[in-house]
Structure 1
């Protein structure tokens, strides 16, 4: 069996220089390559040779190139070349270096305006594809990528299909799509059109706003049921402005959704115009129909008049004992046509009082209700009928569509259906398999109503049989019970997943049975997820074809040393950038200074995250506006990315508490030991740059050659203006001093050997570390410390935070 090597050296395709592997899935591998003839970089998608023997996957791979080749749109990935070299099928397409929506969601929810613009661009792409007659059928965050300029691009048309044509890749009753993003009609296995893609786009829009999908469950079948039956979820209160869009995106009935992508574009444009305080632009010509109240009232009156005339004629005929004319089967269609004609022909009239219109409408409604009751118009359904409808809906999800005529199947009694019923959802993308049946669990015979009735009849005929003699009784043929037909059992192979660290959770996402070590599975593709708290989740597709599969997975810690991240805020946006610091030991203090002696050993036993930058005005002003507090002065130096100043130790504590509530994580001021350990960054010299020049590394009064300090003026520098220390922290020396948790004592005589802060009752002074732009070079060392009242503010003091892991 030929396997494509993961290395680039063993892969050769004429006309292309393979640079590196970008991504790998169960069906193909994507490489960054240079197309030699054009001298441009492309994404080279190479199909796994293992799948070449399967015509289904080969056709899907070929179809993706053929479909995208017919779709020329700035928000749809472009195909440059398609070919086959030896056993390798490949497609050369646009290289999109900006990552995917799924990548962006790993950092938390997106800003609402960003989510709106992405949704608008993908809606335009879907509208173009729908006009060409294609339905994507697998729209999800992984299939929305970004160009360098940030524009969104729709990719992966591997399971797309033409609305007006059929293909052997999908059959009636088969479900195609990813369970979390499929529309209700996809869950049923029914025919779909472009409105199914708009439903999936609505799910992605919801996820971009909240960082969670609207319908969640452990198993694929349960997710499909929720798409069919659960109400449309409500957005958090802060995003209530977009609930109207979600309601139209996720309507269960396709007729109540957006009907095409341009409808979505119109709705978003009007919303954006309203947010900007502008007059909404006119809608597209395809969606500009408006109906006056007077036109609707007139149409209702005409309909009531026609219905009342028909009823009176029928009553008169019955009273005269004359036979009634057979009801016209097109009566309802003619009524609807009358309404449409009235609405289309209604001339503009002068707008009347809403009170008068409401009174007329209420009167007409009352007349209609009374007349309907008089003529037995209402026919109530029993509760059992409602339950039956619910069972029918559920059965459409859980049971495969029969190949034979559906009318025959519906009329067949349950006892005549052979064999057990196996739940099944078939998915060309995920290959969701049937529930695994144990060969050691025989099906117990069930006594049917028919057999019970036959037994009762035989008992009733026994006396008569005795009078006729034993000969006739013995001559009766005895029917042998028929052997139940046994389906061919497909071969199965063992799947063994070895995960590190121990205790990791292993799940197979696209089948119902839970994973057990060495479980037997039929040939196919399986979606494996391995997860554990504190580690990054790994999810990958594996192929089981003709042998047992052993999969080894080692999880990576979610917060590993050197990792930088920004936590999402509940109110939108991101918190300050943090970096993870590994545990270690260092010598704290400096015996050459009275306030920093004696030197002592400190052991950092747990990793923690500390701010890459000092808290900026951008960060703090968001909090101040949200909490109604006064904005601190910037001394005329500028706000934005400059470190916040004129904040007290108590103000810093309040900000940390607010940030913790916004993120659900534990933020606080650093202890002295944590601050100095991160500022030293593994060095044992006064400065993290050791004995080199301070130029370009710090903002201080004398000795730094700072462009923000001169003989007549001085100011803070924007964060990140100078080089970072080896741990990735900026401005630990100079710029602004930084509050920490500890009470200020004159020295380290009563020192500790851990990171706990010094806390005293009636503490008046708090420690400030790092020095400021007004200090000389000797006072911005990693060990320098001073004290200030916790209620005081200063133009030279700000702060940075620690996040506990």
Structure 2
């Protein structure tokens, strides 16, 4: 109709949208070629395409990324939840341009794009898709633009304060058999009226993953990793902390001030994507002049285990008296318990031996690493595994309020696409600044 009415601009937008959704569509290819012949050129820049009107973000169960014919499905179990309209984003929003129906941040995706050029029909397909690739949404950061170089000022012993905490141990039936008072060291980073309590984690070596007879194949092979010292936030990032950092100047992308479904200043923030969490770390880094980032998967498991080897840092099983998860299900000989169906305030339950809270349950936590199907070829130095793997899929650890206990184990691994957000996914930060307590 647009062509009949000689509205070439509208017609081209229409055919471009059709080709973006179905690159081999012959009518769309013919339409583009016809318009090019009529105008006498095939190199006119593609016009911006307006995005659809925003709709309220529904909280829906995550797709099951691990489901395959060769292995049991594994996912964070999610119950239906009321949708919550996304609040207005802070800062200005740049116009979005034509986006293909997939990400091009991984080699595999780029290979798929090359295949589509072939299917699209010769030079016109290459011209159209090539231009489309250059007009992808610039608000999505890649690995190369997610690092802010800090001054990395060393922290002296005087910068740390002592803090007291309690730990517990349980037996195979979930009965608490011991309680122990401990003390740790914490560096307090202030951002406005909120404070990040960064716990000093001494470096060391540990066995990462699960031994034979325990856990899934993605937790194998169990291997020794040596992790340097680092600082890790005592709790998952809270909603109050999120708001403080979301109010800092933008680095690469906008952040919503109040994204969480379960609201409360001292509850963990959730419904934030890996890309959102990375932007958060970048802003915190620039504001403090110290390097804040997501933990590597090895750092996360080392910090979670805190020197322990059983499935949980509490012992051989988990109970709802010491963690927030779906206790309608049990692990080993442990008991059933309360299923709260929501997040809880951080530090509601006992800490591990390093003084870290909520490493089992409450919210899944983003890690820096690409997703890999197993540990073959994994780094042994505690660094994030950013070679190969699937860059668009990022690692999650720890389980959530909606997870069955097997998914809350210290060694359990999961992944979600980096641009997705759910009401059971949050994160905590680490600081790579050098420090000494000696």
CA distance in 2, matches of 1:595, 1:800: 23
Secondary structure of 1:563's counterpart equals: strand
Q: Which has the higher contact order (CA 8 A, sep 6+)?
A: 2
CA distance in 2, matches of 1:595, 1:764: 18
1:106 counterpart residue number: none
Match for 2:380 among 746, 753, 757? 753
1:780 counterpart residue number: 408
> Within 5 Å, which residues of 2 pair with 1:256-405?
none
2:393 counterpart residue number: 765
2:209 matches 1:565: no
1:666 counterpart residue number: 291
Deviations 1:273-324 (A, max 9, x none): xxxxxxxxxxxxxxxxxxxxxxxxxxxxxxxxxxxxxxxxxxxxxxxxxxxx
Match for 1:582 among 186, 195, 202? 202
2:256 matches 1:634: no
- Whether the 8 Å contact between 2:231 and 2:431 is mirrored in structure 1 is yes
- Alpha-carbon offset, residue 786 of structure 1: 0.6
CA distance in 2, matches of 1:740, 1:598: 20
- What is the TM-score when the length of structure 2 is the normalising length? 0.53
CA distance in 1, matches of 2:233, 2:154: 23
2:421 counterpart residue number: 793
> Within 5 Å, which residues of 2 pair with 1:454-469?
none
Change (3 A) 1:669 1:559: farther
CA distance in 2, matches of 1:565, 1:612: 10
- Whether the 8 Å contact between 1:562 and 1:581 is mirrored in structure 2 is no
> Within 5 Å, which residues of 2 pair with 1:418-429?
none
Change (3 A) 1:693 1:624: closer
- Alpha-carbon offset, residue 616 of structure 1: 0.6
CA distance in 2, matches of 1:769, 1:780: 8
- Alpha-carbon offset, residue 567 of structure 1: 1.2
2:113 counterpart residue number: none
2:268 matches 1:643: yes
Secondary structure of 1:562's counterpart equals: strand
CA distance in 1, matches of 2:257, 2:336: 31
Match for 1:687 among 312, 315, 318? 312
- Alpha-carbon offset, residue 773 of structure 1: 1.2
Where in structure 2 are there 5+ consecutive unaligned residues? 1-152, 163-182
CA distance in 2, matches of 1:536, 1:597: 38
Change (3 A) 1:536 1:601: closer
Secondary structure of 1:655's counterpart equals: helix
1:735 counterpart residue number: 362
CA distance in 2, matches of 1:756, 1:789: 21
2:4 counterpart residue number: none
Change (3 A) 1:777 1:630: same
> Within 5 Å, which residues of 2 pair with 1:77-226?
none
- Whether the 8 Å contact between 1:535 and 1:559 is mirrored in structure 2 is no
- Alpha-carbon offset, residue 632 of structure 1: 4.2
CA distance in 1, matches of 2:353, 2:325: 20
Match for 1:602 among 225, 247, 270? 225
CA distance in 2, matches of 1:767, 1:693: 22
Secondary structure of 2:298's counterpart equals: helix
Match for 1:699 among 324, 328, 350? 324
Secondary structure of 2:247's counterpart equals: helix
CA distance in 2, matches of 1:748, 1:601: 11
Secondary structure of 1:756's counterpart equals: coil
Secondary structure of 1:678's counterpart equals: helix
- Alpha-carbon offset, residue 612 of structure 1: 0.5
CA distance in 2, matches of 1:696, 1:565: 29
2:280 counterpart residue number: 655
1:612 counterpart residue number: 234
CA distance in 2, matches of 1:734, 1:717: 10
Please identify runs of 4+ aligned residues in structure 1 that moved more than 4 A: 557-561, 704-707
Secondary structure of 2:217's counterpart equals: coil
- Alpha-carbon offset, residue 803 of structure 1: 0.6
CA distance in 1, matches of 2:429, 2:306: 17
CA distance in 2, matches of 1:792, 1:692: 31
2:247 counterpart residue number: 625
Question: Larger C-alpha radius of gyration, 1 or 2?
Answer: 1
CA distance in 1, matches of 2:316, 2:322: 12
Matched positions, count: 247
- Alpha-carbon offset, residue 559 of structure 1: 8.5
1:716 counterpart residue number: 343
CA distance in 1, matches of 2:426, 2:260: 11
After alignment, is 688-697 or 719-728 more displaced?
688-697
CA distance in 2, matches of 1:691, 1:575: 34
Change (3 A) 1:536 1:779: closer
- Alpha-carbon offset, residue 706 of structure 1: 5.9
Change (3 A) 1:533 1:731: closer
- Whether the 8 Å contact between 1:588 and 1:601 is mirrored in structure 2 is yes
CA distance in 2, matches of 1:689, 1:568: 31
- Whether the 8 Å contact between 1:699 and 1:706 is mirrored in structure 2 is no
- Alpha-carbon offset, residue 750 of structure 1: 1.5
**Structure ranking higher in helix proportion:** 1
Change (3 A) 1:679 1:536: closer
Secondary structure of 2:205's counterpart equals: strand
- What is the TM-score when the length of structure 1 is the normalising length? 0.29
- Alpha-carbon offset, residue 697 of structure 1: 1.4
- Whether the 8 Å contact between 1:632 and 1:647 is mirrored in structure 2 is no
2:352 counterpart residue number: 725
CA distance in 2, matches of 1:772, 1:594: 21
CA distance in 1, matches of 2:383, 2:318: 34
CA distance in 1, matches of 2:411, 2:154: 36
- Alpha-carbon offset, residue 733 of structure 1: 0.6
CA distance in 1, matches of 2:197, 2:157: 19
Secondary structure of 2:189's counterpart equals: coil
CA distance in 2, matches of 1:792, 1:733: 22
